[in-house]
Amino acid sequence: MQRAIPLAVLALCSGFAATGAFAQEQGQGGGAEAAAAAFMDKLDTDKSGGISLDEATAPQKEQFQENDADGDGFITTEEASAAFAKQVPPEMMEAMKERGMPDPGQTFVKNLDTDGDGQVSLEEFEQPTEDSFAAMDTNGDGIADAAEAAAYFEQMQTEMQARMRQMQQQMQQQAPAQ
């Protein structure tokens, strides 16, 4: 079963720089190659020309520690909600409530808690990054280079555009006739 990770979760899990770099560069019209360059620049800490899984997950380890307020090795719904509230303007939080959207902390735990214990471990937190990294590292050598990153971001862009078109079609079908 594929779990959809909503924007709220992506915002909370912003440690995976690929997503952030992709979104930033797409917003600026930079395309997949620019996103790949930003990804490489941010995560290739040893300047080897490629990103290892350790380099890809390093920012997440820091993000996890920040979000694990009590330091017990798990992020609870309450901790996730508090972390999200720090990153999002209060008016957006209020708008989410008014629209009946679920609490972002609940959504976060629901989407990442694969063992069903009601909290998110570091391993669960890193799993989406590990999955994305595996998809990016097409030759399986344990290093994602700029060409692999560009191809991955191009694929993400294509998939995102298809999802947006699908959502627009659904909204048009659901809109009341005037």
Q: 93-111 pLDDT, tens per residue?
A: 888 889 888 889 999 999 9
Confidence of residue 178 (pLDDT cuts 50, 70, 90): low
What's the whole-number mean pLDDT along residues 140-160?
Answer: 93
What structural domains and CATH numbers belong to the chain? 7-174 (1.10.238.10)
In the structure encoding, which two tokens stand for residue 26, read together? 């797409």
What's the whole-number mean pLDDT along residues 125-145?
Answer: 95
69-76 long-range contacts, Cβ below 8 Å, gap at least 24? Answer: 73/121, 73/122, 74/119, 74/120, 74/121, 75/108, 75/109, 75/119, 75/120, 75/125, 76/105, 76/109, 76/118, 76/119
User: How far apart are the C-alpha atoms of 91 and 110, rounded to whole Å?
Assistant: 24
The rounded mean pLDDT for the chain is 83
pLDDT at 54 over 50: yes
Q: Model-level pTM?
A: 0.72
pLDDT value, residue 18? 39
User: How far apart are the C-alpha atoms of 142 and 130, rounded to whole Å?
Assistant: 11
Compute the C-alpha angle 83/86/87, nearest 5°: 95
pLDDT at 84 over 80: yes
pLDDT at 1 over 50: no
User: How far apart are the C-alpha atoms of 162 and 90, rounded to whole Å?
Assistant: 31
Q: Which residue has the higher pLDDT, 99 or 5?
A: 99
